[in-house]
Amino acid sequence: MIRYSLVCDNVHGFEGWFSESADFDRQVEAGLLTCPVCGSAAISKSLMAPSVSTARKKEEKQAVAMDLAQKQVMAKLKEAVAAIKANAEDVGERFPEEARKIHYGEADARGIIGQASFADVRDLLDEGIEVAPLPVLPEDAN
């Protein structure tokens, strides 16, 4: 679709949408186009700046939207990680051992955080012990 800025002989401006450039010409010649303000059929295209959508413009718009979305997601992630850490005991490298004790009823149930190797995590999951990694966020990476 093509959008044209149109003007009648009484200088009333309006816009029209056409399937192609020749469609505008056919409608004017057939007298099908009239001014919505005064009804004049003397319609012409007015000068207008082209609306060119470049890949750069699209990328810039997407970058701005992603920056905002990423900031919102990052803020939510930080809140979630902070809440988990505030409500859990950090058992460090004893994580696999403590997780098993809690799972098998050898220790009081509580939230724990700590470190575990990939193999330890796999073994815990194989035993039916639910674990999940906490994301390392950019400010936490230092």
Tokens of 25: 């010409």
Outline where DSSP puts E strands in the chain: 2-8, 13-18, 43-45, 89-92, 112-114
Query: What average pLDDT does the segment 92-121 reach?
Result: 95
- Higher-confidence position of 64 and 12: 12
Structure tokens at 128: 């039916």
Beta pairing, strands 2-8 & 13-18:
antiparallel
First to last CA, the chain: 53
Residues paired with 4 in a beta bridge: 16
pLDDT over 80 at 137, yes or no: no
What band does 142 get if pLDDT is binned at 50, 70 and 90?
very low
Average pLDDT score over the chain: 86
The count of other CB atoms within 10 Å of the CB of residue 66 is: 12
Rounded CA-CA distance 6/38 in Å is: 13
> For the segment 37-73, what is each residue's pLDDT rounded down to a tens digit?
999 999 999 866 566 666 677 677 666 766 777 888 8
How much is the pLDDT for 51?
60
Single-letter amino acid, residue 27: Q
pLDDT at residue number 19: 85
What is the rounded distance in angstroms from the CA atom of residue 79 to the CA atom of residue 77? 5
Q: How many CB atoms lie within 10 A of CB 62?
A: 11
